[in-house]
Amino acid sequence: WVMNADGSDKRQLTDAPGYDGGPFISPDGNWIVFRSDRQEEHLLQIYVIGIDGKNETALTDNQGVNWGPYWHPTQPYIIWSGADHSDPTARPNYDLWMMRYAVDDGQFKMVKKWRVTDSPAADVLPVFSPDGSKLMWTSTRTDDHSSQLFIADFQLPK
């Protein structure tokens, strides 16, 4: 749902069975990124939808859990946490993933996808600093595997 700050003009954006949640509005205010289990219960995928409720697009489609999507503040990138459970030889932990996107004629399209981290620890909940120069995330990379905040200088992939 979206509405004005005073509660007026309330509109439902999604109407799929299952869970839709964790929304973030794009820096330009035109798109919403969110997670959903509509394809299969407990397997979250990342979606975008226009702020007008049109042009819904799945950005991930795997046998995993993808969540915590976040917009880069100044460039056309989205980062998220993901674990693909379809490969029994892969570590079942969460790593950070990023995609570059483009919007052509009102259609949201993935241009390229990258793995940002590849660690035996869990890397989750990524967010960028307001200027996009730093990345902060939660990780269990500590000796006792407790969740801690990590902050790093960040450059976008080419």
pLDDT digit string, tens, across residues 11-29:
999 999 999 999 999 999 9
For the entire predicted model, the pTM comes to 0.92
Dihedral sign, Cα of residue 33, residue 68, residue 85, residue 114? positive
In the chain, where the domains are located: 20-153
State the average pLDDT for the chain.
93
From the list 140, 113, 116, 118, the residue with the least C-alpha distance to 127 is 116
* Per-residue model confidence (pLDDT) at position 133: 98
20-153: CATH number:
2.120.10.30
Number of residues in the chain: 158
From the list 53, 33, 49, the residue with the least C-alpha distance to 127 is 33
What confidence tens digit (pLDDT) does each residue in 49-88 have?
999 999 999 999 988 899 999 999 999 999 999 997 777 7
Distance of CA 114 to the CA centre of its chain: 13
Residues 68 and 125 sit within 8 Å (Cβ to Cβ): yes
